[in-house]
């Protein structure tokens, strides 16, 4: 698995996450396409670190494209989960559900 050095110096390792969520995809008649990226080649995965911070891993099937990670806020993590069809949010994110969904 990949490791990522974040701007604050933290080293993230997906295998150290306490929880992870895969993105939703839609069949376009030929391929499964990421609902986050709109691409069959680019995908995302959400993680919760051991310290309780959320981050997204971005990967790509394009040759020469390196995977990378970014921190996301709790609100953005809740938005990501709801958009990807997760109906039960983690306890620390439930507070955002009403403001994000209509």
In a domain, 78, yes or no: yes
In a domain, 54, yes or no: yes
- Number of structural domains in the chain: 1
In a domain, 51, yes or no: yes
**Domain that residue 41 falls in:** 15-100
> Quick check: 1 pLDDT over 80?
no
* φ, ψ of residue 93 in degrees (nearest 5): -115, -10
pLDDT in tens, 57-83: 999 988 988 999 999 999 999 999 999
Pair of tokens at residue 59: 């990967």
Q: Which residues sit opposite 57 in a β-bridge?
A: 45, 69
Q: What pLDDT is stored for residue 45 in this prediction?
A: 97
Please tell me the distance from the alpha carbon of residue 46 to that of residue 48, in angstroms, as a whole number: 7
Question: For the whole model, what pTM was predicted?
Answer: 0.93
In a domain, 62, yes or no: yes
Q: What pLDDT is stored for residue 2 in this prediction?
A: 86
pLDDT in tens, 20-45: 999 999 999 999 999 999 999 999 99
In a domain, 1, yes or no: no
């Amino acid at each position: 698995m990949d490791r990522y050095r974040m701007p604050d110096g933290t080293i993230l390792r997906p295998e150290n996450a306490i929880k992870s969520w895969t993105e939703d995809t839609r069949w376009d008649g030929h391929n499964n396409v990421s609902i986050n990226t709109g691409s069959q080649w680019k995908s995302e995965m959400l993680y919760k670190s051991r310290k309780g911070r959320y981050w997204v891993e971005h990967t790509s099937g394009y040759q020469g494209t390196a995977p990378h990670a970014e921190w996301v806020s709790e609100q953005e993590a809740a938005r990501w989960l709801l958009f990807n069809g997760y109906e039960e949010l983690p306890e620390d994110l439930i507070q955002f559900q009403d403001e994000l969904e209509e």
